[in-house]
Amino acid sequence: MTEIPTLTRRGLIVAGSATVAGASAFALAACSPSAEEPDSTASEPAGLQPGTELALLADVPVGGSLGVQVDGSAILLSQPEEGEAMAFSAICRHQGCVVAAAGASFDCPCHGSRYDAATGAVLNGPSTLPLIPIEVTVSDGRVVVA
């Protein structure tokens, strides 16, 4: 006669927990950003306090753009219309390279993504996500964090 192993109630709970833990680890692995996926967790640059000056508006060409470093953060600025300032984190939403100001667009040197300098929207992939905007105002000819 073949002996059938019996499971105690505790054994079933432990076995069930292992399965749940395994499923959770799998789910986490499936949700973790990989080097091939867009960085959808990017956020506004840390450490930029309201009132922080990013640039003089006169240094941002009308219809063009400017890249600056402020408090350790790479920032892109544009002036789509005279007197109107826009600002974005310069961190590419594809894999995190620093995007460069290139006139009416922002160009990523790593894999060729291009963004609209007026809106931060993707013009060319591989990035699928827009640049992270930074709220700014113009005060006394200075572009400052709002």
Footprint of ligand FES on this chain (CB under 6 A)?
Answer: 92, 94-97, 108, 110-113, 126-127
CA 143 to chain CA centroid, nearest Å:
22
Nearer to ligand FES, 36 or 82 (CB): 36
Nearer to ligand FES, 63 or 96 (CB): 96
Measure the CA–CA gap between 68 and 106, rounded to whole angstroms: 13
Nearer to ligand FES, 3 or 36 (CB): 36
CB of residue 71 vs ligand FES: minimum separation in angstroms? 22
Distances (CA, A) of 18 to 10, 28, 31, 32, 124: 12, 15, 20, 21, 45
CB of residue 15 vs ligand FES: minimum separation in angstroms? 44
CB of residue 74 vs ligand FES: minimum separation in angstroms? 12
Q: Which two tokens stand for residue 14?
A: 């432990």
CB of residue 126 vs ligand FES: minimum separation in angstroms? 6
Cβ atoms 112, 126 nearer than 8 A: yes
Cβ atoms 93, 130 nearer than 8 A: yes
**3-state class (DSSP) for residue 57:** helix
